[in-house]
Amino acid sequence: MDIFLVIHILAGTIACLCAALAFSSEKGKKFHVIAGRTYFWCMVGIFLTAIPMSIINSNKFLFLIAIFSFYLAFAGMRFAKNRKGIATSMDWIAVSLMILSGLGMWALAIIYFTNDNSQYITLLVFGFIALALGCGDYISHKNKTAIGKGRIARHLTNMMAGTIAIVTAVLVVNVNIEPVWVWWLLPTAVITPIIFYWNKELHRSEKVI
């Protein structure tokens, strides 16, 4: 557990730094690509340590959040690389797991609600996000619409959402203030409008990366 935790924290720290570097650098350039790839592999490290830790501790909440967070980085990376918009088996499996994680969060939210655990609020919101993004990506794969600006929009949305997950993890680990669900949802409330704004600006722009 200690080894997993050390790797988990280290990967999360580097992922935060790389996310900041990627979003502050010019899109499509070499530095942006390197920062994005490093961010993705750090998210792989976070996922591969979160899953065994959640199983060891029988923590269903962490298990679902791990799948949710990793999918965002995975899908963001895939939309960046897949310019033809044709989904592979790996894409279909990933988006299916994302949708299942959203349904799992809602199911766990019901259990938490009946046990007076306020984290059911977090699960309801994250479950909605998982289903919204998962179904959106599923439709993009099915209709092969993830090309041009549509592809960049989905790349941007997933990567930014993945960054929300990282910032959230940093907050909830370092800020111990009740109610806990507020700190789980604060980054989502702050960063989501930025995602909408960037998507709007992207569709206004004539440039496609």
Phi first, then psi: what are they for 86, rounded to 5°? Answer: -100, 115
Could you list the residue range(s) of the whole structural domain that residue 12 is in? 2-204
Q: How far is CA 144 from the centre of its chain?
A: 22
Q: Tens digit of pLDDT for each residue in 157-195? A: 888 888 888 888 777 766 677 777 787 888 888 888 888
How many structural domains comprise the chain? 1
pLDDT single digits (tens) 74-109: 999 999 888 888 999 999 999 999 999 999 999 999
3-class SS shares of the chain: helix, strand, coil, % to 5:
85, 0, 15
Asked if residue 188 belongs to a domain, the reply is yes
pLDDT band at 209 (very low <50, low <70, confident <90, very high): low
The rounded mean pLDDT for the chain is 87
Cα separation, 170 vs 149, whole angstroms: 31
CB 44 within 8 Å of CB 14:
no
Is residue 209 assigned to a domain?
no
CA distance 209 to 162: 20
